[in-house]
Structure 1
Amino acid sequence: MKVFLGDMPVELTGKRPKLGDRIPGKFEFQPALNTSNKFPNLNQVKGLVFVSTLPNVKSFACSTQVLDLEEEIKKRKLPAKIFHFASCGKDSWFEIKKLHPQLKAKGYSLQNCPAAEVSEFKNSLGVGVSHSHRLAHGLFAFYDGRIIASYIPKQQYGVPNIKRFLNRIERSMS
């Protein structure tokens, strides 16, 4: 899949999941925000789950995605769990923790994790950036372990349209 960072084309690896798909089982990603537990097997998590992928949590667009997703889900009173995944290291989450201690979402770092697991995760969601360790911006919704919505913005420069993504999910669930 081709996306853009401003005017620059960026090739993504993997395939965007189809509705009803499951992603592979367990991953050993490093806990970085609001948890000391390893990432759970999404196939076994019941209910509504949001997965957010972030290139660099220190950037404005990524930190805004973290904050806006949680605030919008709370405002809509959606009973959901939120997991964020960042390409950058565990220490990169420090600023978000400090500035937004009210956040409840769990965050994980893919840096210094087994390369095969990181590659499998990126490819299963279609958010791996070719020839880079980075993830692309992406939003995914699961219900009882199955994909019910996915959104990988064509324009990666900026914050994904979280309200439109959530509107689509709410329409499909009603």
Structure 2
Amino acid sequence: MKVYLGDEPVELTGKRPKNGFKWKEDFQFAPVLNTNSKFPNLRIRKGIFLISTLPNVKSFACSTQVLELEEEIIKRKISAKIIHLASDGITSWEEIKKLHPHLKAHGYSLKNCNEKEINTLKTMLGIGVIGSHRLAHGLFAIQDGILISSLIPKQQYGVPDIKKFLNQLQDKKKLR
């Protein structure tokens, strides 16, 4: 899949999964925000999980994505758990923890984790940036182990359209 950083084209690994895709993997990513637990096994977990992928958690766009996603689900009274996955290391999250101690979302770092697991995730969700360790911005809704919606913005500069993503889910009555 081709996305853009401004005018510059960027190729991503894998393909964005289609709705109905079954989560098949269990990952051991490093917990960094609001949890000490390993990444949840989404194959067997019940409920709605919103997966947010972040290329650089220190950037304005990524920190805004973290904050806006949580604010929007609270405002809309959506019963979902948020999981952020970042390309960055554990210390990259310190600023977000300081500025937004009220956040409830769980965050995980992929840096220094098992390379095979990282590549599996990148390919499975279509979010790996070819030639880089970074993830692309993305939003994924998983309900009872099944993908019900996803968004990988064509324009990777800036914050994904979180309101549009959640509107589509609510319009389809997929969020309960």
TM-score of the alignment, normalized to the shorter chain, above 0.5: yes
Runs of 4+ residues over 2 Å off in structure 1: none
> Structure 1 residue 24: deviation in Å?
2.7
Partner of 1:104: 104
Correspondence list, 1:14-163, <5 A: 14-163=14-163
Distance in 2 (alpha carbons) for counterparts of 1:25 and 1:120:
8
Distance in 1 (alpha carbons) for counterparts of 2:135 and 2:23:
16
Q: Percentage identity across aligned positions?
A: 65
TM-score by length of 2: 0.97
Matched residue type, 1:18: K
Native 8 Å contact 1:24 1:124 kept in 2: no
Partner of 1:170: 170
SS of corresponding position for 2:32: strand
> Structure 1 residue 71: deviation in Å?
0.3
> Structure 1 residue 44: deviation in Å?
1.2
Distance in 1 (alpha carbons) for counterparts of 2:16 and 2:23:
11
More displaced stretch, 72-81 vs 22-31: 22-31
Distance in 1 (alpha carbons) for counterparts of 2:99 and 2:52:
19
> Structure 1 residue 136: deviation in Å?
0.2
> Structure 1 residue 89: deviation in Å?
0.3
TM-score by length of 1: 0.98
Matched residue type, 1:172: K
